[in-house]
Structure formats: structure tokens, C-alpha cells
Amino acid sequence: MSINAMKSLELAIAEKQLSDYARDAVCASSGADECSQAECRLDRAVEAFRWIARAEEAVRQATYEGLTEFTPQVEESLDSLYRRWLGFSETTECDLIKLDEQGCIAANASEFREVAAQAREKINSMAWLRKSRKLRNAAPCEASES
């Protein structure tokens, strides 16, 4: 398997997990009560996040080993996955708050909130790296001549 195929495979798995979480078909069709469905959604959210993080880790390790380049396209793909995950997780968080108000305390809520914080951190880190790279590559200011 070529390195590019591996990158694509890692990202494709993460994309599928994210799509499955977004569709929420598994949890909604489980026939369980709202609280159990919420726990199912939280599990799906955490699992999707972990797949995205695994994809990033694999690509970064391959880059470190000199097997591939961490291209802007790969960085954009990962950033997009994290941002989309966070967008979906905001809806899940709202549902979680409503259920808390109804007395349903999801056992996995803290784990979900922990990975949501990690997703925000990843997005902020990638934004900072892009910004610093952009500044580093910009033409230097001309020094004033005295």
C-alpha cells in the first residue's frame, strides 16, 4: 500500500465515522429510551473523535518517519474533520443539557465533554500553526534606512 493510499484510508475511516455519528441512525433506531439513546450518541461522538485523532497521529508519524509530507491539503482535511465534529458535538451538547434538565444523567457525558475540549484545542492549535506559517512566509518588512 502506498503512503498516499494509507493517508487516504486513514482519513476515509475518520470521515466515515464522523458521517455515522452525524447521521445518528444507529442510536435512533435502537428502540431505547431517550437517555440510552443519548449515551449511544455520546459513545458514537467519542469514537468518531478518536478515529479523527488516530488519522492525524498516523499521518504525523508517517511524516516524522520521512514516509510522506504533511501537506496543506492533509492539514485542511484534518482541520475540516475536527471542525465538523465540533459542529455536530454542539448539537449533542445541547441535547445533553436538555436531558440533564429532565433528570437523565448520561454516564459518559464527562468523557464526551473531555474530547470536545480536545477538539477545540486541536482546532485552535492548527489555526495558530497556519497563522505562524503565513507570517513566517510573508515578505519581511523593509528595514528603515537611517
Q: Is the dihedral of CA 128, 132, 138, 140 positive or negative?
A: positive
> Is the confidence at residue 37, as pLDDT, over 90?
no
Let me know: does 55 contact 11? Beta carbons within 8 Å. yes
Give the count of beta carbons closer than 10 Å to the beta carbon of residue 15: 19
Q: How many residues does the chain have?
A: 146
Question: Cα-Cα-Cα-Cα dihedral of 3, 80, 118, 113, to 10°?
Answer: -130
Break the chain down into helix, strand, coil percent, rounded to 5. 80, 0, 20
Query: Which is more confidently placed, 38 or 134?
Result: 38
The rounded distance, in Å, linking the Cα atoms of 2 and 8 is 10
Claim: this prediction has a pTM higher than 0.95: no
Query: Which is more confidently placed, 69 or 111?
Result: 111
Q: What is the pLDDT of residues 84-134, one digit of tens each?
A: 999 999 888 888 888 888 888 888 999 999 999 999 999 998 877 666 666
Q: What is the pLDDT of residue 121?
A: 93
